[in-house]
Every structure is written in structure tokens, then in C-alpha cells.
Structure 1
Amino acid sequence: MSISQETASAGTREATSSRGVIALLAACTATGPAATNLFVPALPHIRADFDVSVAAAQTMLTTYLVAFALGLLVCGPVSDRYGRRPIMIGGLTVLAAGSLMCALAPSLPVLAFGRVVQALGTASAFTVARASVADLFQGAELARRIATLTMVIIIGTTISPYLGGFIADHAGWELGFWILFGAALLLIVICLRALPETRARHARTGFADLGRAIRSVLANPVFFGYSLQVAVIFSLFMVFISLAPYIMTGALGRSASEFGIYYILISVGYFLGNLYVSKRAHSTSTARLTALGLWIQLACTLLALGFALAGLTHPLWLFGPMFPLSFGQGLALPTITARAVGLVPGFAGAASSLLGFAQMATAAVCVQAMGWASTDTAVPMLLFCSIASSLALVPIYAMRRA
């Protein structure tokens, strides 16, 4: 075999290996969205079973987001110090334990505690996956790979809201947690056999170095701007998907299963946005993709708000604008994430943790606060989404002036 053939063969093996790692990381990361998407459509049923208010039922989502945010702060820096692989496998084990608690929960407090344990487990997968990709790629290629990672996750989780609603309607909400328990056990076995360590041995550093890196990130106004953008984008998404099931079943008189069907529009839009980034990140400025995505998001929230104020009540008037909106979010989130993580070479875990913490903590506050809003109409929810969309654009122009 010639040198050129050997080089080509090595390149093919490396590409195949890279695709396999991305797919496995995506499967592990998908446990987080699945833990939410299976659960959210069942919230009206959980509320009825435990005879609590909407705000009390929302605490199941809020406690998850808070615990997830706190878990992110720990998992990223620890994976920088000890490696990605053990943190991923340990997190999946914690996820399995939390899912089992939720499936067997006899009361709302026990269910809330199980959700906290679940969140700590999924936080490790979320952080380690993004940090692992940042270990392997840089620049525009990193944005492309994050978009690819996201697309694989979307494929795996698109059906989960419908599945969660169907299970809640026909088999009881507990079955969703049994499914997560089984999935976590399966992923543990696969990771033990196939997940490589992407963090170079010589790159492992002490906690003093991690501390300096974290202080450097926190003092960087550009990173702060990126954190604000991802926090606002994700909060908009979480508020929508947490309140929409109540609006669907209450104000619109539809079933939890039907919410899952319309949710597919959001997943498809987000998938297409990430697909565009994966194909065009090398030829189009990531800053332009971010700005385009955020302007699309604002236009669509204002459109949906206009429909609601006009008294249009079919679910398509609510979910139709969410399709292009989620496309815009698919353009913005992977490009913002890649630029933020790339600010701290060598400490991708710490940067990913801080970015994720801002994202989840802000979403938790917004979801709980909006739990007190009326769900007799979609107007309060969409008014929040419109204000949030406007705020996401502020850092773009603030950083241009800085």
C-alpha cells in the first residue's frame, strides 16, 4: 500500500471513529431532553393525580432545572481534571437511580427529589458531550460538530413529547420514567465498551488552574454576552413547552398527545436550523448566523402574539410560528455555544459548565415565575417570549460598541 493510500485509509478510519463518538455522545446527551420531553406532557396528569396547583406542578420542572444547573457547575471542571469518560459513566448511573425513584414515587416530594437526582445525572452528559467535541475540534468545525451533535439528539427526542403524552393518557406517567431507567442502563453498558477518553492525559491540570480559568471566563464581557443570549433563548423555549400543555388541554380543549404531535414542528425547525449550520458554518460567518437566527426568533414571537391577541385559537396559530422560530434558534445556539467555548482553549469543560449554568438557572427562574401566569389564553406566555427575544439581540449591538 502506498503512503497516500495509507493516509487516506487513516483519514477514513478517523472520520468513521469521529462519527461514532458523536453519535454516542448525542445518545447520552439526549437523556436530558428526553427526561424533560417525556415529562412535560404528563404535567397535567401529575397535577391531577396529586391534586396540586399549576404552580406546584411546575416545581417538578423548576427543581429539575435548578439541580441541572448546579450539576453543570461541578461536572465540567471535574471532567477537565479527571477526564470525560468517568464523569459520563458516573452521570448515567445517577440518572438511572433518579429515574427509578421517580417511577416508584408515592408522593410529590419524592417525585421532586427523584427529578433532582435525574437532573444531576443528565447534567454530566450535557457538559461532557460538548466538552468532548471541543477537545476534538475548533473554530467553524466546532460549530459544525455541535450542530451535528444537536441534530442527532433531535432525531432521538422528536417523538418523546408525543410518547410522553400518549403514555400519560393511556398507561400512566410512571411508565416514562421506567423507559428512562432502561435507557440509562443500556447507555452505561455501551459507554463502558465504546466511549473513548477525549481529554488528553498531559492536558489534565490542577484545581488551581481550573480556578484561574473560571475567573478569566467570568471576567470576560464577551462570554457574559454569549451567556445572556443562550440563557434567554433556552428560557423562551422552556417557558413555551412548560405552559403550552396547559393551554392545549385547558384553553384549547386538546389532549396531551396532541401537544406531542404539534411539538414535532418545533423539533423539525430546530433540526433544519442546525443542519444549515452544519453545512454552511465554513462559508458563512458564525456572527451573521447568530444575528439572523435571533431576528427570526423575534419576528416569530411577535407574529404568534399577534395571532393570540386576534383571538385565533386553533393550535396551528400557536405552533405554526414556532416552526420558523425554532429554525432561528437552531441557527443561533450552536454558533453562540462554539464561540463561547472557544474563548477558553484547554478548559472546555469549565466554559461549557458556566454557559450551561446560566442557561438552566435562568430558565428555572422564568419557568417558575411564569407558572403563576394565566393559561386561559396564550397571550401572557407569548408576551414573555417576545420580550425575551428582544433581550437576546441586545448583546450583539452592545458588543459591537464595546
Structure 2
Amino acid sequence: MAQAAGTTLADAVRAEVGAALAATDAELARRYPGDPGTRQPVHTVYVPADAFGAGTARAWGDEALALLDAHAPGAGALTGVLGLPAALAAEVHDRVRDKLLREPVEDLRIDFEDGYGVRSDAEEDAAAVAAARAVSAAVADGSAPPCVGIRMKCMEEAVRDRGIRTLDLFLTTLLDGGGLPDGLVLTLPKVTFPSQVAAMARLCGAFEQAAGLPAGRLGFEIQIETTQAIVGPDGRTAVPLLIDAAEGRATALHYGTFDYSAACGVSPAHQSMDHPAADHAKAVMQAAAAGTGVRLSDGSTNVLPAGPAEQVHAAWRLHYRLVRRSLARAYYQGWDMHPGHLPTRYAAVYAFYREGMAAAAARLAAYVAGSGGAVMDEPATARALSGYLLRGLDCAALDGQEVAEATGLTRAELEALAGRAPGAS
């Protein structure tokens, strides 16, 4: 009979340590719940409120298709413009066209801030009501993007009351028109201090109570557009304070390329998503948000694919490169400001996932089988591999059957490895 292993510490010591760390355990669970496990859109399309209607997403898809057919009508042409790997060219091109036909926009933000400007109260009131009615109509007929909502004006004194009224009108009209859509997203811009985020959280709670909604129904994105949102006046990193001030309502951090660059003194010719100032801000955002369940979005390029073919191609190459750069840095979402950005958004996203699928699937299959392989992966890496494949499935870069055949795993098994709640997608 094997001899029982001996220990030295008394059970009371272990119990004392557990009791001493109980509050820490609870705080870790509260602050770092992990990824929400739901689908994250690959982009956010911004449309000025006065230009939005129930058919906006379809109109963007149609314009994007027209540009694609005019300037890269086949797989070879698209490869020539973007430098896609020849082996992926046909698949990527066909998937991009299918996406533009089927679901051209994954997330749409109706803009009442910079893209809309300052209007009379009567005009903005009417626009807020019209936007909500158009969203309700699109939801009712099935043409709404999976995620849709508004960017209101910020919490600074000059526009605060106007922003609050627009938010109230939009949400109230949605409720009157059939209810809040499942994919509702609200965006709070130009955040400088945690108190502004706390005020937004208070507004959400007050609206829920007044409208009889469940507590916590409303969340919001925080736009990082000011230097004070990265480094506070006391020298501390400010992003964790912003997340904490949201009291569990923060859903994402969105980097604002041009406002942040200008705040850093970057000259207009050098304001870009890949400027060192942008990389620093986004690295801080990434570290602060890790494990919190608050997602990240990169910003946009203001170089539009318009004009003659050579100008369109140059803009596409820039956009494709920037999107691929963001994906490699774990920024899986970004802003698109023009219908012509949709072909290169999806081309970059689809190439990213299709290029890496075979290697990711093989590593994950080896991990699950315990057979080792060329790379020895740990549970955290297996979680990342599963998340990578699930993201590819969510945006239609990958098909369920090919992933199942390559990994030997069902979607439910992938979700379990990735730490997603079953069926959360």
C-alpha cells in the first residue's frame, strides 16, 4: 500500500489564507470577468444622422460592390491591387462579394457628434426621432446590421444638455417603435475625466428605471480621443479609472485617430492609425482593458477610395495595410468612413483568418489530443487559438465545416476552450 503523502501546514493556515483573500477573489471576479463571448463586429460604419435611413446599410453595400466591380472586377485584379496570396485570391474575392451582398455592414453608428455638427434644437430633435424610427423599421424588415446605435454629443458643458436630450429622444422613440434592438450600441465621445463616464452610467440607470427596463440593459462605448483619457493629470494611467467609473456598463474602448493625434500636436499630414502616438495610446488601452470584458476598436483612415482608378487603388492599399496591422496587434475592430472601405476591410479580415486557419487548427487539435507538435501550447494559447477561429467563423471568413474537419472540434467545444458561454455568439 502506498504511503500517504505528508504535509506540514495545518488546515487552519490554509483556511486563514482563503479568508484573507476572499475580498481579493471577489474583486478579481468583478473587475476581470473575461471576454463576454459574444460576436464582436469587425468594423463600425459612421454615418451622419442627417444622411441615415432604414436602407443605409444596403446602400453602402451596393456602392461598395459597384466600386469593387469597377476597380477590381475579379480575383486577379484584387490580388494585383492588394498583393493577396495567390492561393487565397479567389476565396477572398468571392467571400468579399458575398459579404457585401448579404451583410455589408456589421455595426453602424448614427453620428450626432462631429459628423453631424451643431444644428438647431428643432432640427436635431427631428433627426433623433427619425433615426430611431429608421432603426426600428430596419429591425422589423430584417435589414438592420447586427449592431446599430448612436454617437451622441459629449459630456462637456457646451453640448451636454443637447447630447442628453438626443439620447433620450432616440431611446424613447425606439421603445415606442417596438423596443430596443438586441444589438443596440451607444457611444460616448471625447471623454476626458472619469466623472463624465460616471454621468453617462447614471443616465443609463435613470432611463432604465424610468422606462421599466431591466437594470444593466444599457451599456456604452467610451471613445478615447483626448490625452487625458490615457494619462490623467496626476500622472496615473486613466483608462482603468474610466472603465471603473462605468460601473459595469462599458462595452468597448474606441480609439479616435484624428482627435487624439491633434491633441498630441501631430501635424495633419502625419495623423494616422500607425503613428507612434497612436500605438502608445492603443497599447495602454489594450493593457487596461485586458480581462475586463471591455473590447477594443481601432480608428479610421481619412484617405477615401474615390476618384480615378489609381487613386482608388492607392487608398485601398493603405486601408488594407492598416487593417492588417491592427489585426496583428489584436485590434479586431475599426472604423470605416466610406462605402469604398468595405471591400478592403473584408479582404483584409478574410485574408487574415484564412491565412492562419490551417496552422491554428493544427495547433489546437494537437493541444486537445495531447500529442504535442512543432509548438508546445499552454491553456492560454489554446484559448487564443479557439478565439481566433471563432472570430473567423463569426465574420464568415471561415466555414463551420472546414473548421470542424481541421480541428476535430464542434463549435460548442471551441467555445468552451475559448471561455465563451455556450451559445453566446
> What is the TM-score with the length of structure 1 in the denominator?
0.25
| Higher CA-based Rg | 2
Q: Write 1 or 2 for the structure with the bigger share of strand.
A: 2
> What is the TM-score with the length of structure 2 in the denominator?
0.24
* Higher RCO by CA contacts (8 Å cutoff, separation 6 or greater): 1
